A and B are shown apart, each in its own frame.
Chain A
């Protein structure tokens, strides 16, 4: 008899297939993770853009990294929501009483979050190109951009797993999304931090989103990234590891 570990990839692909269907069949998800960030980008560029002094002549170029971050932050509430529903409806029990690789049920949600976020990022970048976004970044820089965004997505996703598995109600499961939504607004995503009052500026300059946004912006505009890229990576990987171990602890205990 084969052990269930041999089936991990098969089981994982079934799980990802399942939750990708959930994502594509939910108009709500598509609006939140793609349409809303796009609307935000349109409003910032065509409504507020004229009045914002970003210090760059192409505001779409300045704005795009922040919009990408917002798109990722918007999407992670769904990870919590879907995990909670699976737990509550007994779907996890069904899977766990079957001869499958147990962790596939959880990894399916995590990978779906990653894949669906990457799809929405590509869509947003394509729209930004139409709106005048231009970049002469090299392939290596683009790969670095996606690398950082992948780590950022995984970090937020593993954070979202924790309330998804431990919440008592569906509202409780989704509440994690709100503070995360605010982080890009208190960063250099939309305006330079120099104009912010002291304490806000101190927070904005030292929170993870700013270093990620600055790194992505530098990479896309072919500027030297300096130390910022290491700070950004350290944030993403650090948060990801802590959240991962915490989430797996909850998973083992509750499931």
Chain B
């Protein structure tokens, strides 16, 4: 049952847009139930990898298996196993939050779509806004609905393409909790991010994509070892702006 231990395996993936080679031979593996973070600067090709693995885009060469299925030969089975949350919240603004979730549940051919929708609304704390049109939602609420839509039907592998870009710090940390929960329930999470702290907080394994190749990959501790031994220095610990912000917000919430 070796195959089931590996949720995603990628071998020699290449992709060019016209004459620009974006991916020049990408290899990596993601273990089932783990959180895998793909790091890279803007334009490094992170989104291209996500699009190829979620069957939206065809690679020029190389192979990839997702949940044991070939992404080209068996794309239907791949789509059964995954969900994709893109960089921008792909929610229907004219429908209500609940209608959005019911729509996805119906498209996934699940029984009891209304019940599924209601449970997810509660889980993501948007049940108060369930019957409001999404155009009236705040950015954070949209993103939460977006993720909730991706979890309809409990896909085994969840692709999140820069999921926290543009989120305020509070929502971001809330979001991290959701990801950890998913992974502890056995869902594989594939995440791209530009934020190093996000990868550090969440990921079991980190891979860095640079100039079309994975330049390093490993656990955070493993990556740390690549650097020269740390010097011990004593400094006064200053609170970060994030800590200050959160402290103030939380105090307000308690009043």
User: For the complex, is B76 an interface residue (Cβ under 8 Å from A)?
Assistant: yes
Which chain A residue has the least Cβ–Cβ distance from B159?
A97
Chain B contact residues, CB within 8 Å of chain A: 51, 54-56, 76-77, 79-80, 82-84, 86-95, 99, 103-104, 106-109, 133, 149, 159
Provide the bound-state CA to CA distance between A100 and B106, in Å. 10
A residues 15-43 in Cβ contact with B at 8 Å: 17-18, 21-22, 25-26
Provide the bound-state CA to CA distance between A243 and B5, in Å. 48
User: For the complex, is A7 an interface residue (Cβ under 8 Å from B)?
Assistant: yes
Q: Is the CB of B108 within 8 A of A99?
A: yes
A10-B106, A14-B103, A100-B107 as given contacts; A90 in contact with B80, CB under 8 Å: no
User: For the complex, is A3 an interface residue (Cβ under 8 Å from B)?
Assistant: yes
**What residues of chain B lie closer than 8 Å to A91, measured between beta carbons?**
90, 92
**What residues of chain A lie closer than 8 Å to B94, measured between beta carbons?**
21-22, 25-26
User: For the complex, is A203 an interface residue (Cβ under 8 Å from B)?
Assistant: no
Q: Is the interface of A mostly helix, strand, loop or mixed?
A: helix
Q: Can you list the 8 inter-chain pairs with the closest CB atoms, starting with the nearest?
A: A90-B90, A97-B84, A99-B79, A94-B90, A97-B54, A90-B86, A99-B80, A14-B106
A25-B94, A94-B90 as given contacts; A1 in contact with B77, CB under 8 Å: yes
User: For the complex, is A98 an interface residue (Cβ under 8 Å from B)?
Assistant: yes
Q: Is the CB of B79 within 8 A of A11?
A: no
Which chain A residue has the least Cβ–Cβ distance from B100?
A18
Provide the bound-state CA to CA distance between A49 and B119, in Å. 60
Q: Which range holds the interface residue count of chain A?
A: 20 to 34
- Counting chain A CB atoms within 10 Å of each CB, the highest count among B84, B92, B95 belongs to B92
Q: Which of A21, A22, A26, A95 contacts B107 (CB under 8 A)? A: A95
Q: Is the CB of B95 within 8 A of A18?
A: yes
Provide the bound-state CA to CA distance between A99 and B108, in Å. 7
Q: Is the CB of A94 within 8 A of B106?
A: no
Which chain B residue has the least Cβ–Cβ distance from A95?
B107
Q: Which of A4, A14, A89, A94 contacts B149 (CB under 8 A)? A: A94
Provide the bound-state CA to CA distance between A89 and B135, in Å. 13
**What residues of chain B lie closer than 8 Å to A11, measured between beta carbons?**
107
Q: Which of B51, B55, B76, B88 contacts A89 (CB under 8 A)? A: B88
Q: Is the CB of A94 within 8 A of B86?
A: yes
Q: Is the CB of A93 within 8 A of B90?
A: yes
**What residues of chain A lie closer than 8 Å to B149, measured between beta carbons?**
94
Q: Which of A26, A90, A100 contacts B88 (CB under 8 A)? A: A90
Which chain B residue has the least Cβ–Cβ distance from A85?
B93
- Counting chain B CB atoms within 10 Å of each CB, the highest count among A26, A93, A95, A96 belongs to A93
**What residues of chain A lie closer than 8 Å to B88, measured between beta carbons?**
89-90
